[in-house]
């Protein structure tokens, strides 16, 4: 091997050896530094975290004037459960608050007119989320009426018209049911519970368990949770900021700007009718979800009130 090449190889090996020694000692020093203060970066990260905190539980709360016995441990814990679920189920509760701003004024006015406590608007809210949903059992609309019950309380239900989807008329029907239930139980909390369980089930429970207070009754889980779901959403709606929901006025859904026209003759083509009224079929159906077909048969002596957008 030529002397020049040998010298170059020896220099390279020496340089590599020096580099390895430097890397070893440098890594060792850094390890010592980390071992001395390992907590600093971790603590900085933890301090920047968003903690999930327990929700505030009121010491006193009432439903429709009936005081909730918050001194009973399972009552307090059931309310805690529903408040926690609704507080941290952000998407659902935000949308609920938005819809409530649109529909509560109408629902509340009908409840008050019929002598029903205003708190029953929260029944409609937890039943449907103030959406015209249909349950697996066929319960429909804001108040979740079954077809048989809806007809019993004066709602028209057929292939063309289903007034379970009519916000005002279904609320009137709900008021009739609630009044009848109150005449039976004489207690608004039991009235609300019977809206979920049925009047017969509450009657049976009163007789079998010899109890007249909802909070002393042992009921199926769904009914047992029902009143606390109402209470939880009431508490959040009355003070949303306290539970972490900050919505500006512009975030809320506003009551719909509509005009009403009276229809006394058959409309055989609702899409054509919509265009005659300077609107769309889609808008007609959005404002009148109780119209279930593309036509409306109006019998002699009958009339319907149809909502249209304001100009």
Segment 110-168, tens digit of pLDDT: 999 999 999 999 999 999 999 999 999 999 999 999 999 999 999 999 999 999 999 99
- The model's confidence at residue 304, banded by pLDDT at 50, 70 and 90, is very high
User: Are 79 and 94 in a shared domain?
Assistant: yes
Q: What is the mean pLDDT of residues 259-271?
A: 97
Q: What is the mean pLDDT of residues 224-229?
A: 97
CATH number of the domain enclosing 84: 1.10.530.10
Give the pLDDT confidence score for residue 42 in this predicted structure: 42
Residues in the chain: 311
User: Are 94 and 121 in a shared domain?
Assistant: yes
- The model's confidence at residue 306, banded by pLDDT at 50, 70 and 90, is very high
CB 79 within 8 A of CB 61: yes
User: Are 92 and 216 in a shared domain?
Assistant: yes
**Domain-embedded: residue 55:** no
DSSP annotation string for the chain: --HHHHHHHHHHHHHHHHHHHHHHHHHHHHHHHHHHS-HHHHHHHHHTS----PPP--S--EETTEEP-TTSHHHHHHHHHHHHHHHH-HHHHHHHHHHHHHHHHHHHHHHHHTT--GGGHHHHHHHHTTS--B-TT--BTTTTB-HHHHHHTT--BSSSBBGGG-HHHHHHHHHHHHHHHHHHHS-HHHHHHHHHH-HHHHHHHHHHHT---GGG----HHHHHHHHHHHHHHHHHHSGGGGT----GGGSPPPP-EEEEEE-S-BS-HHHHHHHTTS-HHHHHHH-TTB-SS-B---TT--EEEEEE--
Give the predicted TM-score (pTM) of the model: 0.83
119 Cβ neighbours under 8 A, 6+ residues apart: 63, 64, 188, 230, 234
In the predicted model, is pLDDT for residue 45 greater than 50?
Answer: no
- The model's confidence at residue 10, banded by pLDDT at 50, 70 and 90, is low
Domain that holds residue 42: 3-47
Q: How many domains does the chain divide into?
A: 3
In the predicted model, is pLDDT for residue 1 greater than 90?
Answer: no
Give the pLDDT confidence score for residue 251 in this predicted structure: 97
Q: What is the mean pLDDT of residues 211-240?
A: 97
In the predicted model, is pLDDT for residue 281 greater than 60?
Answer: yes
User: Are 238 and 103 in a shared domain?
Assistant: yes
In the predicted model, is pLDDT for residue 35 greater than 50?
Answer: no
Per cent of the chain over pLDDT 90 is: 82
Measured CA to CA, the distance from residue 114 to residue 143 in angstroms comes to: 16
Give the pLDDT confidence score for residue 52 in this predicted structure: 82
């Amino acid at each position: 091997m030529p002397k020049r090449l040998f010298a170059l190889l020896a220099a390279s090996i020496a340089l590599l050896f020096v580099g390895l020694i430097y890397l070893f000692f440098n890594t060792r020093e850094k390890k010592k530094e980390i071992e001395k203060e390992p907590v600093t970066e971790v603590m900085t990260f933890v301090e920047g975290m968003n903690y999930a905190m327990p929700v505030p539980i009121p010491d006193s709360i009432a439903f429709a004037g009936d005081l909730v016995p918050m001194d009973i441990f399972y009552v307090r814990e059931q309310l805690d459960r529903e408040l926690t679920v609704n507080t941290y189920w952000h998407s659902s509760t935000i949308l609920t608050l938005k819809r409530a701003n649109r529909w509560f004024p109408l629902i509340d006015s009908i409840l008050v007119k019929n002598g029903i406590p205003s708190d029953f608007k929260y029944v409609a809210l937890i039943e449907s989320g103030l959406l015209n949903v249909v349950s697996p059992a066929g319960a429909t609309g804001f108040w979740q009426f079954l077809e048989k019950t809806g007809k019993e309380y004066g709602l028209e239900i057929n292939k063309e018209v289903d007034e379970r989807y009519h916000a005002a008329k279904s609320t009137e029907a709900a008021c009739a049911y609630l009044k009848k239930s109150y005449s039976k139980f004489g207690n608004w909390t039991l009235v609300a519970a019977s809206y979920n369980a049925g009047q017969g089930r509450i009657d049976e429970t009163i007789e079998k368990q010899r109890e007249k207070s909802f909070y002393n009754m042992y009921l199926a889980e769904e009914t047992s949770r029902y009143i606390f779901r109402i209470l939880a959403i009431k508490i959040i709606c009355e003070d949303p900021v306290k539970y972490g929901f900050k919505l500006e006025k512009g975030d809320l859904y506003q009551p719909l700007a509509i005009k009403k026209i009276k229809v006394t003759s058959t409309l055989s083509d609702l899409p054509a009718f919509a265009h005659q009224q300077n609107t769309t079929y889609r808008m007609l159906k959005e404002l009148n979800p109780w119209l279930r077909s593309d036509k409306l048969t109006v019998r002699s002596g009958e009339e319907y009130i149809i909502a249209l957008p304001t100009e």
